[in-house]
């Protein structure tokens, strides 16, 4: 029995150690402010600066060439250029044969470099976005940049501000301890979500926060998070207390959070797989066509080489236009036919035009220009336009046949507009929409309009017992009075059975 109990305790200890390996212990940076980075407890965690570029200055050429050689036509033309350096089968000057393929590779590399430079500018702009970080020396929140945020800092975000890192919510201006956020940058949802501050902190001061925070290691699960404060009474928190990087604070004056994940360890960045080489449907189809053209080219060259071999064998003597080698010997018909095969490959290389991809790239650049400057795709409210982030797959927009979407407000405004309310039997409407209600009510029942000075009055009257305009009334007469802003051009669009316009004296 004792042995069994010992084994159970050993298993529990092993499980506890395994769980501790999946946790990280975070401390506040305030007591260590001013020390070297290497002497701070959170020095092993990455900073908040991000980098989404695909290339570096040193690796740009090899990485870009590797991506470009996914196009079979580029491999084909490089092989032809190398073949021209063989004196026996060369048909052009080797240097001249290199010019076309070098031009094609250079133009594509310039396009990829410009696209990656736009990513670099976007990263620099985001990393230099201002935010508020608490400073023990200044005894207040001071303005810093996103790239200066580190794990263990206290960050203050105000209304309509984007959260710079994954924050554990410790304080909010809302008396109920709730912070509203919009996660449209993460999941496309524009409806607001509530986040509650970590329990046990009704009155919060950054310098009085002496507890450590134990949380799970970074992961890409946007709906799961666990942490606790290892005090005498463990206070835990979940995803309902985490403000994710990229979210926007709404309807809350300000909120203060403790940075648990920063930079590429945030959940938003872990879900961002980074830029990758994308191939459009047209490019994949071109690779198939290039393979077919290469097979056709080899067939034609094989037939030509075989014909050259048979022709040399059929000659009765040595023709005078055949040039011997340095030793005065002529090549055999079989060897001449072998050389002729490669010579014809060079001569018939125009079967696959080298300007094919250059023309396609120029068309893509023009297409991107028209998409970006399309007035129908411009949002006047935010003064924003379409941004083409992947320049290689713009033509795939023309291949879309179906769009599947759920009604969540992602494609629509999902906007609730105040219409009217009733207080103790008196109805009140939004004055900007009042006249619209009048016109809508005209369709469903009789309407009586009259004007008194600059006020528009109407009396709603329905004497039907059944459905009228899609609505049922169970009383013989229903009347109400409504006041709205009067405009001279407003008219009443009543049903044909209506009594028309009455004056106030008829009421």
SS (H, E, C) 238-297: CHHHEECCCCEEECCCEEEEEEEECHHHCHHHHCCCCCCCCCCHHHHHHHHHHHHHHHHH
- Runs of H (alpha helix) within 348-490: 356-372, 434-444
Q: Of residues 166, 406, 441, 506, which has the active-site annotation?
A: 406
Q: Which of 269, 237, 258 is nearest to 42 (CA)?
A: 258
Q: How far apart are CA 495 and CA 507, in angstroms?
A: 20
406 is known as an active-site residue? yes
- Tally the C-alpha atoms within 13 A of residue 368's C-alpha that lie toward its C-beta: 16
SS3 460: strand
Tell which phi-psi region holds residue 419, choosing left (phi > 0), alpha (psi between -120 and 50) or beta: alpha
| Backbone phi, psi, residue 343, to 5° | -65, -40
Element (H, E) at 112: helix 94-127
Cα angle 362, 394, 370; round to 5: 65
Q: Which residues contact 2 (CB under 8 A, 6 or more apart)?
A: none
- Tally the C-alpha atoms within 13 A of residue 274's C-alpha that lie toward its C-beta: 10
What are the catalytic residues? 406
């Amino acid at each position: 029995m004792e042995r069994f109990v010992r084994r159970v305790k050993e298993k529990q200890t092993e499980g506890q150690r395994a769980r501790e390996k999946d946790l990280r212990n975070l401390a506040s940076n305030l007591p260590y402010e001013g020390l070297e980075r290497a002497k701070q407890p959170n020095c092993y965690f990455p900073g908040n600066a991000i980098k989404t570029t695909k290339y570096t200055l040193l690796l740009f050429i090899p990485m870009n060439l590797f991506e470009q050689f996914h196009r079979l036509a580029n491999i084909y033309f490089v092989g032809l250029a190398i073949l021209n350096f063989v004196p026996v089968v060369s048909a052009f000057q080797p240097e001249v044969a290199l010019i076309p393929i070098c031009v094609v590779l250079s133009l594509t590399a310039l396009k990829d470099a410009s696209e990656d430079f736009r990513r670099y500018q976007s990263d620099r702009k985001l990393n230099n976005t201002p935010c508020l970080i608490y400073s023990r020396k200044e005894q207040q929140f001071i303005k810093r940049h996103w790239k200066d945020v580190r794990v263990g800092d206290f960050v203050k975000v105000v209304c309509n501000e984007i959260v710079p890192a994954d924050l554990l919510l410790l304080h909010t201006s809302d008396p109920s301890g709730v912070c509203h956020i919009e996660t449209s940058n993460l999941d496309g949802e524009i409806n607001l979500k509530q986040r509650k501050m970590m329990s046990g902190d009704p009155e919060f001061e950054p310098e009085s926060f002496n507890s450590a925070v134990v949380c799970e290691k970074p992961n890409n699960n946007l709906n799961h998070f666990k942490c606790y404060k290892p005090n005498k009474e463990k206070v835990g928190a979940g995803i309902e207390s985490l403000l994710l990087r990229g979210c926007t604070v709404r309807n809350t004056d300000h909120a203060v959070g403790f940075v648990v994940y920063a930079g590429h360890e945030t959940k938003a960045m872990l879900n961002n797989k980074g830029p990758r080489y994308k191939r459009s449907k047209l490019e994949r189809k071109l690779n198939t066509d290039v393979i077919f053209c290469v097979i056709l080219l080899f067939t034609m060259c094989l037939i030509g080489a075989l014909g050259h071999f048979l022709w040399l064998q059929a000659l009765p003597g040595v023709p005078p236009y055949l040039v011997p080698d340095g030793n005065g010997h002529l090549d055999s018909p079989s060897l001449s036919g072998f050389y002729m095969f490669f010579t014809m490959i060079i001569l018939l290389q125009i079967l696959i035009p080298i300007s094919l991809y250059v023309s396609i790239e120029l068309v893509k650049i023009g297409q991107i220009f028209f998409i970006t400057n399309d007035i129908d795709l411009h949002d006047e409210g935010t003064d924003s336009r379409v941004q083409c982030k992947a320049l290689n797959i713009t033509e795939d927009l023309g291949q879309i046949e179906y769009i599947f979407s759920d009604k969540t407000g992602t494609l629509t405004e999902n906007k609730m507009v105040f219409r009217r309310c009733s207080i103790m039997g008196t109805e009140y409407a939004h004055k900007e929409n009042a006249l619209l209600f009048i016109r809508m009510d005209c369709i469903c029942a009789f309407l009586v309009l009259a004007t008194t000075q600059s006020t528009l009055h109407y009396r709603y009257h329905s004497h039907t017992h059944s459905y009228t305009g899609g609505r049922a009334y169970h009383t013989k007469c229903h009347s109400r009075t409504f006041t709205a802003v009067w405009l001279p051009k407003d008219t009443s669009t009543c049903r044909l059975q209506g009594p028309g316009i009455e004056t106030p004296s008829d009421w």
